[in-house]
Amino acid sequence: MFSYFEYIFLFLPPVLAVYFFLNHRGYTDAGKIFLFAASLCFYAFWNLIYLPLLLISIAANFGIGRALTNPAGVLLNIPKKAVLAAGICFNVGLLGYFKYSDFFIQNVNSIFGANIGLMKIFVPLGISYYTFLQVAFLVDTYRGKLGENKFLPYALFVSFFPKVSQGPIALQWEMVPQFVDKAKARFNSENFARGMLLMAMGLFKKMVLADNLGIWATQGFDNAQVLPFFEAWFCLLAFSFQIYFDFCGYSDIAIGVGLMFNIRIPDNFLSPYKSLNYQEMWHRWHITLGRFLREYIYIPLGGSRHGEIRTYLNLLITFVIGGLWHGPTWTYVMWGALNGLGLMGHRLWTKTGIRMHWLPAWFFTFMFWNITAIPWRATEYKHVVKLFRGILGLDGVMLPANLEVPFLKSLGITFGPWLVNLGAKQSYYIYLIIASAALIFFAKNSIELSERLKPTMRWALFTALLLGISIIHLTQVSQFIYANF
């Protein structure tokens, strides 16, 4: 929805105008109520039927949070741990019912030969995100990190429209104090300009780069019968760059729109493909999800406090859960397990004390990430096998026909059409991949650029140019990948 014409031109401008008008007139409570109502309208635009579910989730978790801050007075001395357990079960139960019911039924049918009909439940928008952030809220409240909340700031924290559908997974202590800070109720031209720049960069990454890279990835993963060596690697790189620009593009838009309202949403992507080891990769990639997995799953499991074997097991369990969070398929579980193995390998390597030069360190980190992306993108196991066969060269090596030379032919390399459905645009996509690599590996990331912004005509023209190019692409149907989670 963030890349829809209606959002950019018909929703966001009037919401900003009314919100700051109410605050300017001194009606700050009315401003928060209006922003909450606007967030609910944004959510309902996707599917009105699931709006009550969001409201029930907000009300129930707020009540459980209040019970955790004063359980003796509210729940007649029921132990806080029992209140917390009930709250977590409520949230996980909602998520499990709506997102994993059919996955469970499919596996029961497969294992036991049953014929149970699928429920075919439509997954509510953002349920994975608002479930995780409210579980974190309950755990932090139980740990004594948070005091009592007022309902309106809490409801805004959960439903704030820039992040409700796809994150980032912000925490209560990061967001609620900002909603009650009166200084943030006043319009701030510098925040607005930085927000506009971030939104422009995010739209450009999504509409111009990610969506076009996705065309090649789709042809390779879903449509091609076999993938020779070079086609397979270009296809895999196209997808790795697609998800990079798609995910960080969304985060740029969310953080940028938040800044327009003077709300600082936490950073979510900080040039992860520049990482020199796998632990660093997860400190830079989907930062708020990595933080949640670490703080609310890995550490409660025992973290690294109970010996090496237990540590490795905790890492594997944490990332299998993270994989399953992405979607109810075994390919996502495989992706999570591979990432857990990657972190285990990094931990084992650090124990050797051997320091690797930055170039091979970066190369191995990036290549392993690409390999994990295969089950992440593949919709069926046969596609996983096809990509692995391709990148290993088991289905031959072929180059485009216009590159045919006798020397290469003598080496057993064949020549022919690449991904024929791309037609005459094959060269365009190759150039796009090369340009994407240059931006990813050598350019500054969006957060760094926005922090350097000065109120000059040059920055204004740069922002306008990115917005203009992105708006031209708004006519194509587009959805952020993380909206599916």
Catalytic residue numbers read: 326
Query: Cα separation of 215 and 252, whole Å?
Result: 22
447 neighbors 270 (Cβ within 8 angstroms): yes
- Structure token pair of residue 99: 């997102």
Query: Cα separation of 397 and 292, whole Å?
Result: 42
Q: 412: phi > 0 → left, psi -120 to 50 → alpha, else beta; which?
A: left
| Residue of 159, 150, 102, 154 whose CA lies nearest to 129 | 159
Q: How many CB atoms lie within 10 A of CB 262?
A: 20
Give the up-direction half-sphere exposure of residue 147: CA atoms within 13 A in the CB hemisphere: 3
Partners of residue 19 on adjacent β-strands: none
Buried b (16+ CB within 10 A) or exposed e, 228-245: bbbbbbbbbbbbbbbbbb
| Residue of 125, 109, 106 whose CA lies nearest to 48 | 125
- Structure token pair of residue 271: 């040039």
Cα 296 to Cα 88, 139, 244: the distances in Å are 11, 8, 25
Give the up-direction half-sphere exposure of residue 244: CA atoms within 13 A in the CB hemisphere: 26
